[in-house]
Amino acid sequence: MGPSYVAGVTSSENTNHRVRLHRRGVAGSALVAVFGLAAAACGSSTPTASTSTTAQGSTSTTAAVPCGSGTITGAGSTFVATILQQWTKDYEAKCPGATINYQAVGSGAGITQFTSGTVDFGASDAVLSPSQSQALASKGTILQIPWAAGGVAIEYHVSGVSDLKLDAATIAGIFAGKIAKWNDPAIKALNSGATLPAEAIQTFHRSDSSGTTNIFTSYLAAAAPSVWTYGVNKTWPAPGGQGAKGSDGVTAAVGQTEGGIGYAEVSYAKGANLPMVSVKNGAGSFVQPTSDAVTAALAEATVPADLTVKPNFTPTSASAYPIASTTWIMVAQKQTDAAKATLLKDFITYAVTAGQASANSLYYAPLPASLAAQDKTAATQIGM
């Protein structure tokens, strides 16, 4: 057996894999994505050839995909939802005996469901806290495997402004309620030549327990500690602003509000055609959250043996986008059902290997090869 990956103690409707989007209004909307993959048996862990589509649209045949069969369920992160949908669709095409259901209910809710045993895996954009690890003690060793990487975009809606540049202190000031107008001197100083209106800034944040919020507040606390004094949290810690459920809720609210600004995964901002802030990094460059920029930032992350990756939110590379992180799948190393153990192991292995080919086209960043290799080793530990 390989090394032990211990839980971190730091902070369809039918068989066509449709995604159901349930809207509960702007301030309370939630994306609940259920990815269903149904069922004629392909055998337990039977390899099939994998054809991957690159970001440029070309295809290539890669290593065989191990095909587990049966059904697994998961819940959690909205950050990973877009690429997880693609993984699910592609894995079903290779392994028609597999069914993978996932609900994008937010990292906090996903960990709660995983802890209570109502799902087979949780997904979170933040590693388990000490209290969460303690609550999971009866499950034995919990593997925390980073299976996707991406940036958190700062999306905005300001008429006449399409190339907004902000630094950490100004972003922190806006979301802390200390900068209230779009023509504030601090914003004007960073956007010479831009016509900034005198209208009020309307900030939007996640109202649910969210790993995306954890990433965003981690960035604020690391890059602008003198301005952002509210710490790091999955739930929004600062006063003021307006809450919306899920990344789709925040994105919808920003899109419908003149003067609005919020944060969400890049795929949500892209899908809504909202402009994204160019964020000033440690090297003084203003950078958009592209795949390459996220990769450059993650090159400066710390990767401990337990795979609880610690991003550097103040990267020094001129090409790095600073609000970048990995997102994790949480799964018990020891399973009580052999078919589920095999399917969990095989699907995770697919996600961190062949599945990474989907990253660029979906506005994520492929995992570094070394990290993907560590992930694959970790997945092999899942068993009875």
> Do both 119 and 168 map to the same domain?
no
126 contact partners, CB below 8 Å, separation of at least 6? 11, 107, 211, 214, 215, 234
Q: Are strands 202-206 and 260-265 parallel, antiparallel or unpaired?
A: parallel
Q: Is residue 314 part of a domain?
A: no
The enclosing domain of 370 has a CATH number of 3.40.190.10
154 contact partners, CB below 8 Å, separation of at least 6? 166, 171, 261, 262, 263, 276, 277, 279, 323
Q: Is residue 43 part of a domain?
A: no
Residues 18, 12 contacting (CB under 8 angstroms) = yes
Q: Please tell me the predicted confidence (pLDDT) of residue 59.
A: 37
d(CA 343, CA 379): 11
> Do both 166 and 286 map to the same domain?
yes
Q: Which H helix or E strand runs over 136?
A: none
> Do both 140 and 76 map to the same domain?
yes
The tally of domains found in the chain comes to 2
Q: Is residue 201 part of a domain?
A: yes
d(CA 173, CA 97): 51
> Do both 279 and 174 map to the same domain?
yes
> Do both 192 and 292 map to the same domain?
yes
Q: Is residue 384 part of a domain?
A: no
> Do both 57 and 111 map to the same domain?
yes
Q: Please tell me the predicted confidence (pLDDT) of residue 242.
A: 98
Instruction: List 206's β-bridge partners, or say none.
Output: 244
d(CA 106, CA 124): 8
pTM of the model: 0.83
The 3-state secondary structure of 38-92, one letter per residue: CCCCCCCCCCEEEEEECCCCCEEEEEEECCCCEEEEEEECCCCHHHHHHHHHHHH
Residues 131, 10 contacting (CB under 8 angstroms) = no
d(CA 63, CA 344): 18
Q: Is residue 67 part of a domain?
A: yes
Q: What is the DSSP letter of 325?
A: E
Domain boundary pick from 298, 313, 343: 298
> Do both 56 and 109 map to the same domain?
yes
> Do both 142 and 172 map to the same domain?
no
Q: Please tell me the predicted confidence (pLDDT) of residue 347.
A: 98
Q: Please tell me the predicted confidence (pLDDT) of residue 124.
A: 95
Q: Is residue 214 part of a domain?
A: yes
Domain boundary pick from 298, 315, 345: 298
Ordered per-residue pLDDT tens for the chain, 384 residues:
333 333 333 333 333 333 332 333 333 333 333 433 333 333 345 565 544 443 333 333 345 788 999 999 999 999 999 999 999 999 999 999 999 999 999 999 999 999 999 999 999 999 999 999 999 999 999 999 999 999 999 999 999 999 999 999 999 999 999 999 999 999 999 999 999 999 999 999 999 999 999 999 999 999 999 999 999 999 999 999 999 999 999 999 999 999 999 999 999 999 999 999 999 999 999 999 999 999 999 999 999 999 999 999 999 999 999 999 999 999 999 999 999 999 999 999 999 999 999 999 999 999 999 999 999 999 999 999
Q: Is residue 1 part of a domain?
A: no
- Count CB-CB contacts under 10 A for residue 12: 17
d(CA 277, CA 167): 10
Domain housing 71: 48-150+327-379
Q: Please tell me the predicted confidence (pLDDT) of residue 63.
A: 57
> Do both 267 and 232 map to the same domain?
yes
Alpha carbon of 153 to those of 19, 118, 323, 324: distances in Å?
A: 23, 31, 8, 9
Range list of β-strands (E), 235-355: 242-244, 260-265, 278-280, 286-287, 324-332
d(CA 274, CA 59): 30
Q: Please tell me the predicted confidence (pLDDT) of residue 45.
A: 58
Q: Is residue 218 part of a domain?
A: yes
> Do both 160 and 133 map to the same domain?
no
